[in-house]
Amino acid sequence: MIENTSGIIPIEYKVLVRIDKTAEKVGSIFIPDSVKDQKDMAEVKGTMIAHGGKAFEDFGDPSPKSGDRVMIAKYAGKLVSGADGLEYRIVSDKDISSIITNEAAKVSDVA
Protein backbone atom coordinates (compact mmCIF):
# COMPACT_ATOMS: atom_id res chain seq x y z
CA MET A 1 0.00 0.00 0.00
CA ILE A 2 1.34 3.41 -0.96
CA GLU A 3 0.74 6.53 1.13
CA ASN A 4 -1.42 9.26 -0.41
CA THR A 5 0.47 12.52 0.24
CA SER A 6 -1.40 14.45 -2.45
CA GLY A 7 -4.15 15.84 -0.22
CA ILE A 8 -6.63 14.57 -2.84
CA ILE A 9 -9.08 11.78 -1.99
CA PRO A 10 -11.03 10.45 -4.96
CA ILE A 11 -14.70 9.61 -4.45
CA GLU A 12 -17.17 7.18 -5.98
CA TYR A 13 -15.75 5.68 -9.22
CA LYS A 14 -12.72 7.99 -9.50
CA VAL A 15 -9.06 6.95 -9.31
CA LEU A 16 -6.00 9.07 -8.46
CA VAL A 17 -2.94 8.20 -10.58
CA ARG A 18 0.53 9.75 -10.27
CA ILE A 19 1.58 9.95 -13.89
CA ASP A 20 5.11 9.33 -15.07
CA LYS A 21 6.87 12.64 -15.66
CA THR A 22 7.66 13.70 -19.20
CA ALA A 23 11.09 15.04 -20.06
CA GLU A 24 11.71 18.70 -19.28
CA LYS A 25 14.11 19.06 -22.18
CA VAL A 26 15.17 17.26 -25.32
CA GLY A 27 18.90 17.48 -25.81
CA SER A 28 19.71 21.05 -24.82
CA ILE A 29 16.25 22.42 -25.74
CA PHE A 30 13.78 23.04 -22.90
CA ILE A 31 10.18 21.99 -23.56
CA PRO A 32 7.63 24.80 -22.96
CA ASP A 33 5.11 24.21 -20.15
CA SER A 34 2.18 24.18 -22.59
CA VAL A 35 3.75 21.35 -24.59
CA LYS A 36 4.72 19.52 -21.39
CA ASP A 37 1.08 19.68 -20.17
CA GLN A 38 -0.08 18.15 -23.47
CA LYS A 39 2.51 15.39 -23.14
CA ASP A 40 1.46 14.76 -19.51
CA MET A 41 -2.17 14.32 -20.64
CA ALA A 42 -1.01 11.89 -23.35
CA GLU A 43 1.04 9.83 -20.86
CA VAL A 44 -0.46 6.40 -20.35
CA LYS A 45 1.66 4.96 -17.53
CA GLY A 46 1.51 5.83 -13.85
CA THR A 47 1.16 4.59 -10.30
CA MET A 48 -2.28 4.21 -8.79
CA ILE A 49 -2.33 6.14 -5.50
CA ALA A 50 -5.95 5.93 -4.29
CA HIS A 51 -9.48 5.18 -5.46
CA GLY A 52 -13.03 5.99 -4.46
CA GLY A 53 -15.20 3.52 -2.56
CA LYS A 54 -17.15 2.33 -5.61
CA ALA A 55 -14.20 2.09 -8.01
CA PHE A 56 -13.66 -1.35 -9.51
CA GLU A 57 -16.95 -2.70 -8.08
CA ASP A 58 -17.86 -4.10 -11.49
CA PHE A 59 -14.39 -5.47 -12.21
CA GLY A 60 -13.41 -9.08 -11.80
CA ASP A 61 -9.99 -10.22 -10.74
CA PRO A 62 -7.47 -8.80 -11.02
CA SER A 63 -8.40 -5.27 -10.07
CA PRO A 64 -5.68 -2.70 -9.36
CA LYS A 65 -4.67 -1.71 -5.85
CA SER A 66 -2.93 1.33 -4.46
CA GLY A 67 0.74 1.20 -5.46
CA ASP A 68 0.16 -0.81 -8.66
CA ARG A 69 1.68 0.45 -11.89
CA VAL A 70 -1.15 0.97 -14.37
CA MET A 71 -1.88 2.04 -17.93
CA ILE A 72 -4.61 4.60 -18.41
CA ALA A 73 -6.52 5.81 -21.45
CA LYS A 74 -4.76 8.57 -23.37
CA TYR A 75 -6.12 12.06 -22.54
CA ALA A 76 -8.51 10.63 -19.93
CA GLY A 77 -9.38 12.53 -16.79
CA LYS A 78 -8.06 15.78 -15.40
CA LEU A 79 -4.54 16.90 -14.50
CA VAL A 80 -4.25 18.13 -10.90
CA SER A 81 -1.39 19.27 -8.67
CA GLY A 82 -1.21 17.67 -5.26
CA ALA A 83 -0.32 19.40 -2.00
CA ASP A 84 2.98 17.52 -2.22
CA GLY A 85 3.89 19.35 -5.46
CA LEU A 86 3.49 16.27 -7.68
CA GLU A 87 1.27 15.98 -10.77
CA TYR A 88 -1.66 13.56 -10.75
CA ARG A 89 -4.57 12.62 -12.98
CA ILE A 90 -8.03 11.87 -11.69
CA VAL A 91 -9.64 9.32 -14.01
CA SER A 92 -12.67 7.03 -13.95
CA ASP A 93 -12.06 3.43 -12.97
CA LYS A 94 -12.98 2.41 -16.54
CA ASP A 95 -10.02 4.48 -17.81
CA ILE A 96 -7.59 2.06 -16.16
CA SER A 97 -6.87 -0.31 -19.01
CA SER A 98 -4.32 -2.65 -17.42
CA ILE A 99 -1.97 -3.41 -14.55
CA ILE A 100 1.71 -3.33 -15.50
CA THR A 101 3.52 -6.35 -14.12
CA ASN A 102 6.71 -5.96 -16.14
CA GLU A 103 8.17 -2.51 -16.82
CA ALA A 104 9.76 -3.84 -20.01
CA ALA A 105 6.28 -3.76 -21.58
CA LYS A 106 6.16 -1.19 -24.38
CA VAL A 107 3.25 1.05 -25.28
CA SER A 108 2.75 2.21 -28.84
CA ASP A 109 -0.05 3.99 -30.64
CA VAL A 110 -2.04 2.11 -33.22
CA ALA A 111 -3.46 4.36 -35.93
> Alpha helices, DSSP H only, in the chain?
33-42
Query: What residue type is 17 in one-letter code?
Result: V
The predicted-structure confidence for 10-59, as pLDDT tens digits, reads as follows 999 999 999 887 656 667 776 666 766 666 666 688 999 999 999 999 88
> Is the pLDDT score of 75 beyond 70?
yes
Question: What is the mean predicted confidence (pLDDT) over 69-91?
Answer: 92
How many residues in total does the chain contain? 111
Question: Of residues 111 and 72, which shows the higher confidence score?
Answer: 72
- As beta bridge partners, residue 99 has 70
φ, ψ of residue 96 to 5 degrees: the values are -80, 115
Q: How far apart are CA 51 and CA 1, in angstroms?
A: 12
CATH architecture label of 14-99: Roll (2.30)
Contact (Cβ atoms closer than 8 angstroms) between residue 33 and residue 24? no
**What's the pLDDT at 103?**
75
Model confidence band, residue 111 (pLDDT cutoffs 50, 70, 90): very low
